[in-house]
Each structure stands twice: as C-alpha cells, then as structure tokens.
Structure 1
Amino acid sequence: MSISGVQPKAQITLDSPTGSLAVTKSDGEYILKPTPEDYPCAAINEHLSMQMAKVAGFDVPECGLLTFADTDEQVYVIRRFDRIGDEKLHHEDMMQIFNFNNTISNAKYDAATYLDVLNKCAELAGLGVALECFRRLIFNYFIGNDDFHLKNISVLHGKTIKLTPMYDCLNSEIYSGNLDSPLALSVTGNDDELPYYGTMLNGFYALPDFLTLAEMARIKEKPARRTITKIVQLQKNFIDMVYASNLEENLKKKYISTIEQRVKLLSLETS
C-alpha cells in the first residue's frame, strides 16, 4: 500500500538564529509530512519506524516530530539527505537505475524483483552493498512496511556507490487490507517456487524464502542468517518503543502483532 503517494509534503527551511521554520518552493533543508486523514498517526508511525531503523544500525537522517500550536497536530520532519549546504548530491532510485518509465502505472511495484535489485546493487557497488540492501528488505518486512518499492531504494553516487540513508519507512501494513501483499515487490519473480511461500500459500514469506533469495543473489548463507537473526533479536526493543509511542492504542496493537508474527516467520526452518 502506497501511503507516500497520497501523503502531502512540503519543503521547509530552518532559520538557525530564531529556530523558526518556513515553507519554501525549492532547496529546502527539510521535508515536512503531515498525517493524511485516511492514515491516522502516519507521522508518528513514520518517526517511530525510523527510530527503530536507527536502533537497528541503519543510516537514518535527522528526523523528528513537530506539533502545530493551534491544532496540536503532530507532523513528521526529516532532513534531506540529497544535499550538503548548497551542494546537491547525485542520487538515483532503482526506477532510474533500471531506466524504467516512471509514467507507467505500478511500474515501481512490478517492473523488477528484489532479486533484480540485489543483483543490480552487487553489479554497481559489490556484494557488501547487496547485503545491506538485503538487510533493509528484512527490516522493512519485519516492521510491516509493505511499500518498500523501487522508488524507495536509492543509491548515492560519489567516490564510491552506496545506498542512500533510509526514507519513507513506516508500518504501512496497519492501514492495509488483508488481501494486500506484505512485500511491495516479488522476491524472485517465481515466488510460488519459494520453499515456504510456495508451499504454505498463506501469502507470507519466511526464513527459508529469504535464505533462498540470498543464495540466488550470491550472498553467503552465514551473513544472511546473521542479518536476519540480529533484526529478530530486536523484537523486545521495538515492542517497547511501540508501547512508549503516541500511536493510537488500536494501532499499537496492530504494530506489535505485525512484529510478533514476523518473529515467528523469520525463525522458521525448512521442515
């Protein structure tokens, strides 16, 4: 489910001496994202999820929540990663890297698979970057972000090529219907042949499926398993963070339910 497609955004600048914020048409240092009416607590959700990413050791831009004095509405604010001062940093998302047409409906969801993305990362920057992208996939699945699509995976071009900091990361699954897929992309293009997904036919992916993906992407099993285990071990930390957040109580229950389900799925071994 794409929340980013309906979520309004504004560029803002910060006046350092006064601490005041101002909306600008271009070259803003920060992006401000209020909560869409149909997605309650989206700003809180995204900030919470990004703090989880930070705890998990991912590169996360400076971000936070601001409250409008006149309405008490909380909005999410994140520093842009694509510029340093007046310098714009060259970055591309996977739609651009694969030279896919952005005007084609749903292309960001079905023009490539996660296997394609991992192979492209390895081709551009080596298996280390592919493993980092694999780690992000596991994290997004773990927290229920079913919108980790081709436009939400980007690289920075510099002396070396590396993944950009995380962005557009939240538990979108708590707003999704039961028929929505828990992943934005197909894993391999032949997901029905995956050991768990293709056998259980319950619409979810488990540890054996992701180990199969890693093997197909030439990522060795040991680092792939270690990557998954480290994220699963953060279960208690993440649940405590959900309880401490300002999410509505029903959304807290949904978020925690997602995490508990993923712990089980990512701990399953092939029978």
Structure 2
Amino acid sequence: MKIRQITPSIGAQVTEVHLGEASRSPELFALIKSALLKHKVLFFRNQEITRGDHVAFARCFGDLEDHPVVNSDPEYPGLGLIYRSESRHSYENVYHSDGLWRPKPPMGAVLRCIECPEVGGDTIWVNMVQAYEELPEDIRKKIQNLRAKSSIEPSFGAVMPQEQRQKLDRENPPAEHPVVRTHPETGEKVLFVGSFTTHFVNHNTPENIRHGIDKTPGASLLLNYLLSRASIPEYQVRWSWQPGDIAVWDNRSTQHYAVNDYWPAPRKMERAAILGDVPY
C-alpha cells in the first residue's frame, strides 16, 4: 500500500490496495485508519468492489446508520443511494458535516462513485482543524464555550409540503453541539459548525450583550463568519471523480461540498455512513 499526500492541509491518495481485502484484514485496515486520522480524507481509484464489500469495509469503522430522506439499498441497510439525474436541485452543494442535526453525528463515511459526468461533479473536503487553529485569538476565546443547534428542517425539509416537513422535524429534532469540539481519537480541536447550524444557544449572556444589536445581527454575523471559514482554499482538497473511485473521510474533523455543475448529466454515488458519538 502506498500513500501520496495531495495538499499540505488535507487529503491523500492510497494505491496498491483493494478495500474488499482490507475489510477482511485487521492489519491492513489499521494502516488505512491511521492514514485517515492523519490526512482526514483518503481517495482510492479503480476499486472494483461489490456493494457487500463496500458495506463490509465501512463496518470495520463501526455500525452504519440510515438516513431519514436518502434512499437506502434494501439489501444493504445503511448504504445510501445518492443518485442525481432528474433535477438540477441538490442538497450537497453547501459546506457541511454530515448529520450535524443528529445527537451523534456520523464518525465518517465511505463514498463510491458509480457513474459521473465526464466534466464536473467534483467534491471538495475541508480541514476544520486548521480552520479552527488559524482563527484570530480573540475569536477562539469568544467561541470556546459556545454551543449551537443544528437542524435538518431548513435543508431537506425545505422542499417538502408543510405537514411532511413538520413531521421530519418532529422525528429528527434539532441537536445541540459545542461550536468547538474535541476529536475523540486525536485530541484536536475542531470548528464544528456547518450549513445545518441555525443559531447559538448560549450567546446572549451579559458578557456578550450590551445592546440589542449584539443579539441580532451580532450573533448571526459571528456564526456566518465561522461558517465562511470552510470556503478558504488553503484548507481544501478537491477530487475529480472517475467510476470506481472511493473516498473515505473523517466527518468529525472535515466538511465537504459536492459541486453541482454537471446537470443534466447524471451523477450516481453510494455512501455508507458510520455511526458516531456525542461531541464534546
């Protein structure tokens, strides 16, 4: 197995390994996981694997989770089918951490390209550890104890009829997380807000508020500034897909953005998301 770093900040391409074999070899899987913790997203070309191999490899990281909106393969629960061909609309072309609206957001995911356009349809990943580390010192102090809520309703629910949207919100209520989380395996500090984040829950204290403008738009301006950190190119890696490619990423320390520039060409991806833990 060979590993080639792609950018100074994030991402590496792994060659001379088959992920079906890795799912059956604890030693080989341990090497891949170590590389993942270091590089945060790994890319594998020309992986001729079955859906069974895909799920088996993802399960080496932990149990898989279903999604309340994305369809799953009935034979492989937890394997989401993200097929885009009939509409220009997309949920993925924002900077986000998957499942931030869950009490336990996913630990990571394994995404396989089934079909992609000849041009376009890239995906960007962002190093949110570096995004936190390079914040101005006064901002790091200001946000160190802040917590925020994230919701599925304004994104996936937005295109639903009112009753269906409200039902989605009741069954998946907003989750509260620290704005700065600690990675449970590396100990790194991570800026942990994304497009699902709606508002801070403990910003309006006497220390932060002098006048009403400090609440609104003060808090929302701070949140928007934090959200904008994911768009800094120096923190990013961009991957151009080919059929048979697989990306594995650590959802705890990254965000990603699926570029929606390929319609009406089809783009078909299959993703196994791995259960995570409660952020702290």
How high is the TM-score relative to the length of structure 1? 0.28
Bigger strand fraction: 2
Higher RCO (C-alpha under 8 Å, 6+ residues apart): 2
